[in-house]
Structure formats: C-alpha cells, structure tokens
Amino acid sequence: MDLSKVPKQFCENISAAFSQEFFVMGMITGENGIAYALSPQHMKRLAQYLAHQIADYEKQFGEIHAEWKPGIQSPIQTKDIMGENGKT
C-alpha cells in the first residue's frame, strides 16, 4: 500500500469502550466517524505500538507535553462552521 495515496483527515476525537470479548475504538472527524473492533490482544499491541512511536518521536523532537482530560471536546465543532441550524 502506498501511504502517500491514502486520503488523510485530522482526527478530532478518539473514544474506546470494551466488553470482556473485545474493544471498540471510534475515531471521529467532524460528524463522520469510523468504529473499529479489536481483540484484547490486538488492542494491547496497538497501545504498545503507539507508546513505541511516541518514544521515538520524543527522542527526535523532545518531550510532548499533553494531559489527558476525559470528556474534553474539540475546539472546532461542526455547528461553529455550519451555524446553529446547520446552514452556512
């Protein structure tokens, strides 16, 4: 797969939930979203992969300063762009 040809979007929000059998991870862009179901083992490998990528980034560019706060909303909301009634 040529990643330079894959459409790219800015992901505004990611949420995850789980049951005993699987995790569901949703990635939101505006009012569009995609949900992925992952086995617990796959979710753990994803978390390990992301931690590895972040560590490599920080080695090259310095520490990323970020704080996770549950329930925080993106500063850009569709209603801000479209207006309250959904029309521009």
Cα angle 14, 41, 6; round to 5 = 50
C-alpha to C-alpha distances, 32 to 3, 7, 26, 50, nearest whole angstrom: 21, 14, 10, 23
pLDDT profile of the chain (88 residues), mean per 10: 85 89 91 92 97 98 88 57 52
pLDDT at 12 (0 to 100): 83
- Whole-model pTM over 0.85: no
pLDDT at 14 (0 to 100): 87
